[in-house]
Structure 1
Amino acid sequence: MGKFKKDSQTGLRPGTYTDTLNSSETTGRNSDEHKIAQYGKRQQFKRNFGLLSVVSLASTITVLFNGGPTGIITTFPIIFLGVLFQTLVLSELASMIPLSGGQYNWVAILAPPKLSHFLSYLTGWITTITWQSAVPAVTYMCSNMIVALVDFHYPNQTLKNWHATLIFFAVTFVAVFINTYLGRVFPTIECFSFLLHVFGFFVVLIVMVYLAPKAPPSSVFENYINGGGFSSTAVSVFVGTIPIMFGFVGFDSAAHIAEEIGNATLVIPRAMLMTVVLYFVMSYGIVIAMVFCMPVEEVLTSTYTFPIIGVFATVTQSTAGTVIMTSLIIVMLGCGAIGDMAAASRTLWAFAREDGVPFSSRISKIDPRTCLPLYSIGVTATISIALSLIALGSTATFNALSGLAVAGSYSSFIMAASVTLWRRLTTSSEKMPWGPFRLGKLGVPITVFALLYSWVGLIFSFWPPVAHVSIKTFNWSLVVYLGVMILAIVWWCVRAKKTYTGPKMEISSHQWMELFGEMK
């Protein structure tokens, strides 16, 4: 049997063929299995995720120094609008092609034939490093906030960076345990974590609003701060948006567990949109409360690693109250690390399934007993631990990881959205395999706006937090990003150029033709 080529009329490419299924295996397939079979994939995961559990997973994955209160309160809605447009574009793609690989699958199927293999390959690496950097970034925040809370509660006992690293190991172990041994109840755990997020939101909001002294509106709406010493306040504000953009990274996590979701073509778009809207509503509510209630100068000069602990201490005037509120945030960060590991491991597994990374044959294995990608979960955990050993609590490392996550997320979106825009402009709408979620005539302007926003975000994701850069303040995300791209290109030249052909067909060619011959 050979390879499927792009359709001569539509130019769409279902995949390359590897005969691993018997024709009898398609009998009784539900619509989800039928849809992924359209792109040559067979069902390997159990579909345990419904709408609530998917929204829960994505919602739990979730800037005063540059910008100040005014910068935060004005840029947050702009970032939300840009991310919302990104979400609309990706939701349409996920509804059309519900495969766990996400962006690299979409690029492979929609890109120009001569470029599809290489562009898909690069997109796969970019998407993979996005999630592989997001896991240690969130785990870093969780472990270091635990250290900061211990320092607050026991001021006479100062913990070292290596203590944070050991706690990092513990958080990673918990994330691995829940993603493997508790895999069957993982969706239920994510639903619980979502409810905890909602509860934590109201607790923090109510405490801040009712107990904290209120700042005058002028100090909120007329208080730009250029703490980084940049040549203009505008540049400072843009640099200050990196943490906000990082907060939204992960909104597409639902797309990376597509093959574990029932009714995926509808659930994924709804989950992604609900995730972004819920995150904005809750986060912006907290942001407004914070900028009106916290003493800005005290926060900027605070000795706390996480100034929010000092804010809670000032507002509550209680050690116990500060510990409880901070602990809520720690638990929510831990839930985020668990969800990130799930999405990151599935993304790595999906790319390894197409021979996109070294040791693909091993990483792409699915455990027959649990129906989980145990090897990719283990590799994801190993990468996180390796990065933590390099970091040993360095703040510069978190800046690099968060910047890398933003850069990877935005550049992979640019790749997917660009080929989608090209396809919209060159292919008749009737020939596109649309899913139930469509943007219709608004697709082109929405995609163009999302691309413009993404380019701006990508550029500033590499900027350091201060104008006068040192080793500690340098944003190493650009170095890591370029290093990974060089490694990817080297691997392409050495091996992947011969083995990587985009999404592989895992069903027989005869079966595919019987099901989807009308697309030819």
Structure 2
Amino acid sequence: MSSTTLDDDAKQVKNLGYKQELKRTHTTWSLFGLAFIVLNTWTALSASFSLALPWGGPSVVLWGLVVSGICNGCLAASMAEFAGLYPTAAGQYYWVAIVSSQEWAPLLSWICGWVNLVGWVFLTGMAASFASTMIEGMAAMMNPTYVNQTWHTFLIYAGIATLVFCVNALGNSQLPLLNKTALVWSLVGFAIITMSALASAAPNYLPASFVFGGVINKSEWPTGLAWTIGLLQGTLSLIGYDAPAHLCEEIINPSKNVPRVMIGSVIIGTISGFCLCMALLFVSPEIESVLAAPEGALLHILTSATGSQQGAITLNTFPTLCLILGTTAIMTTASRLMWAFARDGGLPFSPWLAHVHTGLGIPLNALVVTYVVVLIYGLLFFAGAAALNALVSASIVSLGISYAFPTFVNMCGGRRRLPKNRPFRMPEPVAWVVNFIGVAFVAVTTVLFCLPPGGPTVTKQTMNYTVLALGIVVIIAVGDYFLDGKRRFKGPRLPVFDDEDLERLQDVGVFGGKPSVDVRMA
């Protein structure tokens, strides 16, 4: 990469109110590898069949993914308009401040920052928990006498979290290569599993009518409502496409590359996920046995398809390693967002969290705190499945809200608060439709994913505690804001604009944050 390009990127960060502190080591392909392995769509789908099959059956696994892909694609395109113009690791909370009024910008930006950060930290724990569950499933299959203990699961989980922490802390310079390797591993694994399962099971496939149109409802909810609750699986498998935005201070030419990667990762993730799910459903044994399998749905399906436990375990190593690599990338993203938010004073002990280690070239303190919180997340294994499921839903809901937040605020301002000459821009009629679809999807799924999955009759074990988890986060965030946050957080720093854009933005009441630099171009 040329020094001119790096100088231009550093100047762009300076124009946004910050200084270049992290090295730009990522290329377009390494960033795409990070985004693809963060989404881990086909892997997440294969690891979460139990989230959809009882609430909609095969039809929601496939067509629910398509619905989620279209709607999340709209959200990605909506955020891409911001990401190309304001390539800062702050991401959504920065964009919210840009398009908010002066009066509301600090509070709205604060809320969005907390919601986004909590979603990413929870997502790190969720990915590690999925990986630990897969490893336990393989152990159970290899040793029929093995009896799972909760502390076994926690130790595996803690081992994975520690491994990815060490990789992030000590191997930052190798992360671009690791992300590209993860991309290749994931695509190769996807192809091998799909072809092996179909070839081994031929011609004993389930009927196409059942694969594409089968509906199952094991809940007390009406079938239509149960089907929409089953969208949780498809939405889960596509969450995290804002990762490139939070690493945009570590990639060359982010205004061009970040929007492309955000949108492209959703498209390719949806296509690969659909193909794999279709193959797995065709080769599945009876759905009842899949749902009841102690080793997990994927291992059960692969064992039935290949007729070999050893073959199934070998194939299962692909998604297991994908989840570990994905946890590494997710922890990277979470730590960068925590660092960016602390840089603006959004967190307690912000100066300490915003420190960049000179020798390692990373925000080490933010990474350590992310790791510690992820370990605490793992203690929920001892609280039972209901507590873990609540944080899975809370992660999806939190990230979804953070995606819709800047888009909704921009719509409320008539979409007049972004400069016209931005790197990625949709035609206005198209943009309004895309923005509306994305925001409406988040509004609907936020309600759906907070409902008790089994039906209106609930017990302590079947209650959905997502609202409680989110409520605790909101109480902490708002409490901190009014106790000390208002003093230390005045909103993110503002970008430098030329005179024409400055005059237009001031006319519509933008510039809610407190600028640290002159808002006029020198």
TM-score of the aligned structures, taking structure 2 as reference length:
0.89
One-letter amino acid of the counterpart of residue 363, structure 2: P
- The 1:301–1:496 alpha-carbon spacing in structure 2 relative to 1, beyond 3 Å, is closer
Distance apart, 1:217 and its partner CA: 2.0
Matched residue, 2:15: 38
Matched residue, 1:272: 262
In the TM superposition, 1:423-438 aligns within 5 A as 423-427=413-417, 432=419, 434-438=421-425
Return the alpha-carbon distance in structure 2 between the equivalents of residues 301 and 103 of structure 1. Answer: 38
Decide which moves more: 70-79 or 86-95: 70-79
Matched residue, 1:9: none
In the TM superposition, 1:161-180 aligns within 5 A as 161-180=150-169
- The 1:393–1:55 alpha-carbon spacing in structure 2 relative to 1, beyond 3 Å, is farther
Return the alpha-carbon distance in structure 2 between the equivalents of residues 475 and 324 of structure 1. Answer: 35
Counterpart of 2:298 (choices 292, 308, 328) is 308
Indicate yes or no: 2:239 matched with 1:249. yes
User: CA contact under 8 A between 2:290 and 2:296: conserved in structure 1?
Assistant: no
In the TM superposition, 1:28-427 aligns within 5 A as 30-61=7-38, 62=40, 63-212=52-201, 213-230=204-221, 232-392=222-382, 394-427=384-417
Distance apart, 1:300 and its partner CA: 4.3
1:213-269 deviations in whole A, cap 9, x for unaligned? 211122223421111221x11111111111210111111100011111110001101
1:146-195 deviations in whole A, cap 9, x for unaligned? 11110111011223111110011110111111111111011100110110
Counterpart of 2:453 (choices 462, 465, 479) is 465
- The 1:498–1:172 alpha-carbon spacing in structure 2 relative to 1, beyond 3 Å, is same
Indicate yes or no: 2:478 matched with 1:498. no
User: CA contact under 8 A between 1:226 and 1:236: conserved in structure 2?
Assistant: yes
Distance apart, 1:306 and its partner CA: 1.6
- The 1:60–1:29 alpha-carbon spacing in structure 2 relative to 1, beyond 3 Å, is closer
Decide which moves more: 259-268 or 465-474: 465-474
Question: 5+ residue gaps in structure 1?
Answer: 1-25
- The 1:347–1:150 alpha-carbon spacing in structure 2 relative to 1, beyond 3 Å, is same
Return the alpha-carbon distance in structure 1 between the equivalents of residues 164 and 383 of structure 2. Answer: 19
Question: 5+ residue gaps in structure 2?
Answer: 41-51, 497-513
Matched residue, 1:17: none
One-letter amino acid of the counterpart of residue 31, structure 2: V
User: CA contact under 8 A between 2:6 and 2:252: conserved in structure 1?
Assistant: no
One-letter amino acid of the counterpart of residue 516, structure 1: M
Return the alpha-carbon distance in structure 1 between the equivalents of residues 223 and 423 of structure 2. Answer: 44
1:81-124 deviations in whole A, cap 9, x for unaligned? 00000000111110011110110000111111110000000000
User: CA contact under 8 A between 1:39 and 1:503: conserved in structure 2?
Assistant: no
Return the alpha-carbon distance in structure 2 between the equivalents of residues 46 and 247 of structure 1. Answer: 30
One-letter amino acid of the counterpart of residue 216, structure 1: P
- The 1:297–1:444 alpha-carbon spacing in structure 2 relative to 1, beyond 3 Å, is closer
Return the alpha-carbon distance in structure 1 between the equivalents of residues 459 and 267 of structure 2. Answer: 38
Residue 504 of structure 1: SS of its match in structure 2?
A: coil
Return the alpha-carbon distance in structure 1 between the equivalents of residues 286 and 231 of structure 2. Answer: 17
- The 1:302–1:424 alpha-carbon spacing in structure 2 relative to 1, beyond 3 Å, is same
Return the alpha-carbon distance in structure 2 between the equivalents of residues 261 and 176 of structure 1. Answer: 21
Distance apart, 1:440 and its partner CA: 3.0
One-letter amino acid of the counterpart of residue 275, structure 1: S
One-letter amino acid of the counterpart of residue 165, structure 2: V
Residue 172 of structure 1: SS of its match in structure 2?
A: helix
In the TM superposition, 1:505-516 aligns within 5 A as 512-513=517-518, 516=521
1:457-501 deviations in whole A, cap 9, x for unaligned? 211121232113222222222111011101111111100011111
Decide which moves more: 290-299 or 177-186: 290-299
- The 1:299–1:194 alpha-carbon spacing in structure 2 relative to 1, beyond 3 Å, is farther
Return the alpha-carbon distance in structure 2 between the equivalents of residues 506 and 113 of structure 1. Answer: 15
User: CA contact under 8 A between 1:161 and 1:393: conserved in structure 2?
Assistant: no
User: CA contact under 8 A between 1:134 and 1:402: conserved in structure 2?
Assistant: yes
Distance apart, 1:513 and its partner CA: 4.2
Return the alpha-carbon distance in structure 2 between the equivalents of residues 495 and 387 of structure 1. Answer: 26
Return the alpha-carbon distance in structure 1 between the equivalents of residues 21 and 464 of structure 2. Answer: 40
Return the alpha-carbon distance in structure 2 between the equivalents of residues 506 and 514 of structure 1. Answer: 6
Q: Percent identity, please.
A: 22
Decide which moves more: 81-90 or 64-73: 64-73
Residue 461 of structure 2: SS of its match in structure 1?
A: coil
- The 1:56–1:283 alpha-carbon spacing in structure 2 relative to 1, beyond 3 Å, is same
Distance apart, 1:211 and its partner CA: 1.6
Return the alpha-carbon distance in structure 1 between the equivalents of residues 137 and 480 of structure 2. Answer: 41
One-letter amino acid of the counterpart of residue 41, structure 1: Y
Residue 489 of structure 1: SS of its match in structure 2?
A: helix
Return the alpha-carbon distance in structure 2 between the equivalents of residues 299 and 515 of structure 1. Answer: 65
Indicate yes or no: 2:481 matched with 1:476. no
Matched residue, 2:45: none
Return the alpha-carbon distance in structure 2 between the equivalents of residues 514 and 465 of structure 1. Answer: 50
Counterpart of 1:455 (choices 424, 437, 443) is 443
Distance apart, 1:502 and its partner CA: 1.2
Distance apart, 1:27 and its partner CA: 11
User: CA contact under 8 A between 2:391 and 2:469: conserved in structure 1?
Assistant: no
1:286-334 deviations in whole A, cap 9, x for unaligned? 1111222212434444232522111111111112101111111110110
One-letter amino acid of the counterpart of residue 263, structure 2: L
Return the alpha-carbon distance in structure 2 between the equivalents of residues 122 and 241 of structure 1. Answer: 26
Return the alpha-carbon distance in structure 2 between the equivalents of residues 139 and 510 of structure 1. Answer: 39
One-letter amino acid of the counterpart of residue 404, structure 2: I
1:406-457 deviations in whole A, cap 9, x for unaligned? 1101111221111222344445x7xx16431111322222111211112112
Residue 368 of structure 1: SS of its match in structure 2?
A: coil
The CA RMSD measured in Å over matched residues stands at: 2.2
Return the alpha-carbon distance in structure 2 between the equivalents of residues 237 and 389 of structure 1. Answer: 31
- The 1:365–1:506 alpha-carbon spacing in structure 2 relative to 1, beyond 3 Å, is farther
- The 1:353–1:433 alpha-carbon spacing in structure 2 relative to 1, beyond 3 Å, is farther
One-letter amino acid of the counterpart of residue 470, structure 2: Y
User: CA contact under 8 A between 1:165 and 1:393: conserved in structure 2?
Assistant: no
Q: Give aligned pairs, total.
A: 487
